[in-house]
């Protein structure tokens, strides 16, 4: 039976793209020729690098975070918005739309006054944008001038500016979708998402970069990237920020008051990351860092990987996937405290490194031990011993084990019915005996 090819078309607040993969507003979307090459490579949409009063940038601008010999697991930058003349940007926007009418072209904007917002929106709409993205996220440089994350961190300001933008978008192009790009540099993302919604935004994009210092030059006592002997905080991004981004996307997606679409951003490097963001409530995903490191060509793998996933899970459309995991994103207080797993080791697969023993004893709950020598004083096989009566099922041994499927966490029946902390507070249910707490 021939499998029906899934439909990758994505709809984010009325912005339609042939697939959910957009380039985020950043250096890869700095110019028309770049974006046209990206569309040719397969990207479904692109958010144009933020337009505003063109800036003067510093040199150098980027820094990479390396870990255990792996380069650039995280990344940061101190580059600002566009430094190119607005006229050039608008001319190229027209060219891109003429060449690629069916791709999504969203223009990121950042200005200060209402007058400036009206002016730039009018010119952007005239150039032919499919949507606007209001940059309230940039945590470096622009925020010192009262823009970027300085707006995104104040729900009231966010709402007021969004209101302006939406008003002028309606005036110059009725129905034009407006997204608000949120900053993660806040204690709670929800009020900021709700502020955008209250300002009549059609959707939100998140996360922008995280305020960061990527590292120091320890010989010269200066953070990097270094600009003439000094540095400044930058915006952190790349694979390492995905967990923060996924949480913020999920926090909005599950909030009953929040009901506008999300374009997910933050550490998306491959199809699997994209699937995670979509299942967590994103209608599209935006990518920057991985493209900066590997180029536009990565989208080919993202497309076929996503298709393969959709086929294997019987999804026909992206919409069927959006938010599929959100109901399972629960409060801690609603987790079943009587659910119990313990670690089991497959002795045939174990290679005897004892990394799990070290982790359990130094970093967890001390229930694993090295194999005892036999009567002959020789250890027959280096397989750790687990004291199951003390195993709390924390997963650390499984996480550090270098052998696939060697340690598994197996559910045990302790005879207790499910019971949560919130039920316990309400005087309901009975909690099981606590392990590893003596």
Partner 1 sequence: MTRLSQARSESVFKDFKPAYDANHAVVEANRCLYCIEAPCQIACPTKIDIPQFIRRIATDNVKNSAKTILSSNILGMSCARVCPVEVLCVGACVYNEMNQPPIQIGKLQRYATDLALEKGWRFFEAGEDSGRSVGLVGAGPASLAAAHELRRHGHAVTVYDKRDVVGGLNTWGVAPYKLRAEDALAEVDYVLGIGGIDVQLGIEVGDGEFSDLSWADLEAKHDAVFLGFGLGEDSGLDVPGLDLAGVHGAVDFIECFKTGSVDLSWARHAVVIGGGNTAVDAVRELKGLGVAEVSLVYRGTEAGMSGYQHEWKAAKVEGVRASWRSQPLAFLGSERLLSIHCARLGDDKQPTGDTYTIAADLALLAIGQGKLGKIIAGLDGIETKWGRVVVDETGATGRPGWFAGGDCTNGGKEVVNAVAEGKAAAAAIHAYVTRTNATGGA
Distance in Å, CB of 270 to partner 1, minimum: 21
Distance in Å, CB of 355 to partner 1, minimum: 6
138 is catalytic: yes
Place of tokens 């926007």: 93
Task: State the number of binding residues for partner 1 (CB under 8 A).
Answer: 16
Structure tokens, 243: 């967990």
68 sits near partner 1 (criterion: CB under 8 A):
yes
Site for partner 1 in 141-160 (CB under 8 A): none
Cβ proximity to partner 1, 275 vs 356, nearer residue: 356
Cis ω before 298 (30° cut-off from 0)? no
370 sits near partner 1 (criterion: CB under 8 A):
yes
Only one of the segments 30-38, 305-313, 353-361, 416-424 lies at the binding site for partner 1 (rule: CB under 8 A); that segment is 353-361
- CB atoms under 10 Å from CB of 144, counted, come to 10
Alpha helix segments (H runs only) across 223-322? 242-253, 271-279, 289-294, 298-312, 318-321
Considering only 41, 292, 358, 409, the residue that binds partner 1 (CB under 8 A) is: 358
H or E segment at 423?
helix 421-425
70 SS3 class: strand
382 sits near partner 1 (criterion: CB under 8 A):
yes
Distance in Å, CB of 379 to partner 1, minimum: 8
Distance CA 51, CA 82 (A): 6
Considering only 170, 355, 387, 388, the residue that binds partner 1 (CB under 8 A) is: 355
**Helix axis angle, 298-312 to 32-41, nearest 10°:** 40
Distance in Å, CB of 286 to partner 1, minimum: 31
Cβ proximity to partner 1, 304 vs 403, nearer residue: 403
Considering only 353, 365, 387, 419, the residue that binds partner 1 (CB under 8 A) is: 353
Considering only 346, 349, 412, 430, the residue that binds partner 1 (CB under 8 A) is: 349
Considering only 1, 2, 4, 69, the residue that binds partner 1 (CB under 8 A) is: 69
Alpha helix segments (H runs only) across 22-113? 32-41, 86-99
Pairing state between β 15-17 and 10-12:
antiparallel
Distance in Å, CB of 387 to partner 1, minimum: 18
Cβ proximity to partner 1, 347 vs 412, nearer residue: 347
- Are the C-beta atoms of 222 and 197 separated by less than 8 Å? no
56 SS3 class: coil
Question: Which residue in 138, 350, 391, 401 is the catalytic one?
Answer: 138
Distance in Å, CB of 151 to partner 1, minimum: 41
- Residue 140 DSSP one-character state: S
Question: Angle at the Cα of 79 (from 239 to 23), degrees rounded to 5?
Answer: 50
73 sits near partner 1 (criterion: CB under 8 A):
no
What amino acid positions are annotated as catalytic residues? 138
């Amino acid at each position: 039976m021939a499998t029906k090819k899934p439909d990758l078309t994505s709809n984010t607040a009325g912005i339609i793209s042939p697939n959910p993969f957009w380039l985020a507003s950043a250096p890869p979307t700095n110019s028309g020729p770049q974006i046209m090459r990206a569309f040719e490579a397969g990207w479904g949409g692109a958010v144009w690098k933020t337009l505003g009063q063109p800036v003067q940038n510093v040199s150098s601008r980027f820094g990479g975070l390396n870990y255990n010999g792996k380069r650039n697991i995280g990344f940061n930058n101190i580059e600002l918005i566009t430094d190119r003349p607005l006229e050039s940007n608008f001319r190229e926007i027209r060219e891109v739309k003429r060449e690629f009418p069916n791709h999504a072209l969203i223009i990121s904007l950042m200005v200060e006054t209402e007058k400036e917002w009206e002016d730039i929106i009018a010119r952007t709409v005239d150039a032919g944008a499919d949507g606007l993205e209001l940059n309230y996220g940039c945590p470096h440089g622009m925020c010192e001038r009262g823009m970027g994350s300085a707006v995104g961190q104040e729900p009231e300001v966010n709402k007021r500016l969004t209101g302006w933008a939406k008003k002028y978008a309606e005036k110059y192009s009725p129905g034009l979708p407006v997204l608000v790009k949120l900053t993660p540099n806040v204690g709670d993302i929800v009020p900021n998402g709700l502020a955008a919604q209250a300002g009549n935004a059609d959707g939100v994009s998140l996360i922008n970069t995280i305020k960061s210092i990527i590292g120091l030059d320890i010989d010269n006592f200066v953070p990097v990237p270094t600009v003439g002997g000094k540095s400044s905080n930058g915006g952190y991004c790349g694979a390492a920020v995905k967990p923060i981004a996924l949480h913020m996307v999920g926090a909005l997606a599950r909030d009953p008051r929040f009901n506008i679409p999300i374009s997910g951003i933050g550490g998306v490097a491959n199809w699997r990351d994209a699937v995670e963001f979509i299942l967590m409530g994103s209608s599209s995903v935006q990518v920057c860092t991985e493209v900066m490191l590997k180029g536009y060509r990565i989208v080919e793998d993202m497309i076929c990987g996503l298709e393969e996933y959709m086929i294997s899970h019987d999804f026909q459309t992206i919409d069927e996937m959006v938010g599929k995991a959100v109901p399972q994103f629960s409060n801690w207080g609603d987790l079943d405290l009587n659910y119990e797993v313990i670690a089991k080791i497959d002795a045939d697969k174990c290679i005897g490194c004892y990394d799990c023993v070290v982790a359990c004893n130094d970093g967890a709950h001390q229930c694993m031990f090295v194999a005892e020598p036999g009567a002959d004083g020789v250890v027959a096989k280096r397989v750790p011993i687990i004291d199951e009566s003390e195993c709390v099922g924390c997963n650390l041994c499984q996480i550090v084990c270098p052998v696939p499927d060697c340690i598994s966490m197996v559910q045990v029946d302790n005879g207790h019915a499910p019971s949560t902390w919130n039920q316990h507070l309400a005087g309901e249910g009975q909690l099981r005996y606590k392990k590893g707490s003596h």
